[in-house]
Amino acid sequence: MGDMETKQTNWEDLSISNDFLFGKVMQNPELCKELLQRILPDLKID
């Protein structure tokens, strides 16, 4: 079996460009809407 290396990152060092964090935000409808509203402030998102 190959060696698996685990990498830990502090939450404070993550940004929305992190795949894991982006995926978690997109799974939550309220957070998803908030993010989209901040990215596109002129668009009314329901």
Residue 23: per-residue pLDDT: 92
Distance CA 13, CA 42 (A): 29
Q: What pLDDT tens digit does each residue of the chain (46 aa) get?
A: 566 777 788 878 888 888 988 999 999 999 999 999 999 999 998 8
User: Model-level pTM greater than 0.75?
Assistant: no
Residue 26: per-residue pLDDT: 93
Residue 1: per-residue pLDDT: 55
3-state secondary structure the chain: CCCCCCCCCCHHHCCCCCHHHHHHHHHCHHHHHHHHHHHCCCCCCC
